[in-house]
Amino acid sequence: MTTIASETTRSATAVAPTFGMATILLMVEWIVKQLQMLKEKQSQIESQEREIEALKKENEQ
């Protein structure tokens, strides 16, 4: 299975002569960090949604 980061890296190497490999790698690293943050936030949202549902049920009682 191919990860998003490795796909991005492969795509990035095709444009490396234009931007420079160091710039491309920095961009890939930034994108990977952003994806990690998004996953963490999504997990937080899902947890809060479960908590809200539990509180709604508690309020109904």
DSSP of the chain, one letter per residue?
---HHHHHHHHHHHTHHHH-HHHHHHHHHHHHHHHHHHHHHHHHHHHHHHHHHHHHHHHH-
- Name the residue type at position 22: A
Please give the mean pLDDT across all residues of the chain. Answer: 84
Total count of residues recorded for the chain: 61
Per-residue pLDDT tens over the stretch 32-61: 999 999 999 999 999 999 999 999 999 999
In this prediction the pTM is 0.60
Q: Which structural domain, as residue segments, surrounds residue 56?
A: 4-60
Confidence at 4, pLDDT banded by 50, 70, 90: low
Number of domains in the chain: 1
Rounded Cα distance, 55 and 49, in Å: 10
Between the CA atoms of 38, 42, 48 and 54, what dihedral angle is there, to the nearest 10 degrees?
A: -170
